[in-house]
Structure 1
Amino acid sequence: MGLTIGVLAFQGGVIEHMTALKKAAASLQKNVTVIEVRSSAELESCDAGLVIPGGESTHLSRAARECGLLEPLRDYVKAKKRPVWGTCAGLIMLSEEASAVKQDGQELIGGLDVRVHRNHFGRQNESFMTNLDLEFLRSSNESSSPPFPAMFIRAPVVDKLLLPTTKAHDAEATPKEDAAVEVLAILPGRHASNKAAAAGELGSVSPEGAGDIIALRQGKVFGTSFHPELTDDIRIHEWWLQQILS
């Protein structure tokens, strides 16, 4: 019997995520249906998991509120503890706190015990791509893997951990509910145009020195600052499917 994964479809790389998920499911030979989610009924049908794509986080929260979906999303993540992955604005939505928000505040879903800094890397025209060495993509018998091309577009980073952190060394480990925040990837140095970040005023929360946390998970909640769906590399989509379908 097949399972259903949803992609929150208010804005952002909805089609790109759906395409990558379908390719990843085919590659892994998993029977998965991928649907767009704009209502609580569609959300409830997502028994395998949900992706919250990028876009503008205040628009996402406002759209979810207007569609009566904000509280069902919180219930889906926090009470039902279903697997959820947020990219860029999706990561912001899944954080418990956010800094550099607009004057009227920011409604969040929560689920990750972190504070994120919105638009950490500056404006749209300051977007960039960089190759990342993602240890969590390696299998247990691999010492290295090809770099992952990561696209950053007005991306957030984690500027405060609200719970103790661990680092996931086993790429095949299954996350436990109510686990500590696991740091999965750090962007070395400070690439931000944001003056406070560049000056170090936000501090470093990296356990291994200077750098920005750009991928993490806590229990069944996974977040990335960058946009894997905007590349042809489906390894992170494959990894996520393996985590949630195992």
Structure 2
Amino acid sequence: MRVGVLSLQGAFREHLSVLDSLGVSCCKVTRPEHLDGLDSIILPGGESSAMVRIAAGTGFFPALRERIGAGLPVFGTCAGLILLADRLTDDSLDGFDRLGGLDVTVARNAYGRQRESFSAPVQVTGLDDAFEATFIRAPQILSIGNGVEVLSEYADVPVLVRQGNIWGGSFHPELGIDTRIHEEFLHSLGATV
């Protein structure tokens, strides 16, 4: 199993560290040719507007969108969720390539500014005990399509969803010491960790 982590900006180092701690072969991904040989990819939290600007003109997002459409499993957290969402409530990323593919509507930074960041326990399908989810300028999932499964909610709002090979989360599962969300994603791929 080889997992790539989008490493343009954001919390990619933390995802790489979690994967490494689980004994998973992982690598940084920044260019289309880095997609070769991957079994899945994680899109980290960070600044979605910075990510789309850095990727602009490289051909990377169109290449990744094609791979995801062909079945490459992907997990987008926070900014990664924004990149995967089919619909955004604002036009801040208009004119830039995004990925889409996840039938959700997302509001960027809906949980507040940086100083309003928080952690809260959430129940996650497949986990026995609550997961302490960290929300940092987090996007909010406002609506989901028929094929989207809700895996976790916070205050009756979806915060972790799955649609086929695409996972999306509003929070940062890579922060802290609990690796169970990553483990669940990897188990969905058939990996043993």
Match of 2:142 among 159, 170, 174: 159
Match of 2:102 in 1: 112
Instruction: Give the one of 68, 71, 75 matched to 1:77.
Output: 68
Match of 2:167 in 1: 222
3-state SS in 2 of match to 1:236 = helix
CA distance in 2, matches of 1:106, 1:122: 24
Partner of 2:81: 91
Task: Say which SS state the counterpart of residue 245 (structure 1) adopts.
Answer: coil
Answer yes or no: is the 8 Å Cα contact 1:97–1:108 preserved in 2: no
Match of 1:237 in 2: 182
Matched, 1:129 2:119: yes
Residue type of the alignment partner of 1:37 = V
Q: 1:76: how far off? A: 1.3
Pairwise CA distance, 1:160: 2.0
Distance, in Å, in 1 between the alignment partners of 2:51 and 2:28 is 14
- TM-score between the two structures when normalised by the length of structure 2: 0.93
Structure 1, residues 130-155: CA drift from partner, whole Å, max 9, x if none? 11122x133xxxxxx22211100010
Tell me the CA shift for residue 105 of structure 1: 5.4
Name 1:59's counterpart in structure 2. 50
Q: Gaps spanning 5+ residues in structure 1: where?
A: 27-31, 139-144, 165-179, 189-210
Pick the aligned partner of 2:149 from 182, 199, 205: 182
Alignment: residue pair count = 191
Match of 2:19 in 1: 21
The structure number with the bigger radius of gyration is: 1
Matched, 1:146 2:144: no
Give the residue type in structure 2 aligned to 1:122.
Answer: G
Cα deviation for residue 104 of structure 1 reads: 4.9
Task: Give, in whole Å, the separation in 1 of the partners of 2:78 and 2:94.
Answer: 21
Tell me by how many angstroms 1:112 deviates. 0.5
CA RMSD of aligned residues (A): 1.5
TM-score (norm 1): 0.74
Deviation of 1:103 (Å): 7.6
How far is the alpha carbon of 1:244 from its aligned partner? 1.1
Shift of 1:59: 1.4
Q: Deviations over 1:173-207 (max 9, x none)?
A: xxxxxxx110111111xxxxxxxxxxxxxxxxxxx
| Matching residue's letter, 2:153 | I
Q: In the aligned structure 2, how far is the partner of 1:53 from the partner of 1:103?
A: 17
Q: 1:151 to 1:123 in 2, by over 3 A?
A: same
**Alpha-carbon spacing, 1:230–1:159, altered in 2? closer, same or farther (3 Å):** same
The superposition leaves residues 6-57 of structure 1 with CA deviations (integer Å, 9 ceiling, x where unpaired) of 0000111111101111222x3xxxxx420000111111231x1000001111
Identity %, equivalent residues = 39
Q: 1:181 to 1:105 in 2, by over 3 A?
A: same
Does the residue aligned with 2:104 lie in a helix, a strand or coil?
A: strand
SS at match of 1:61: helix
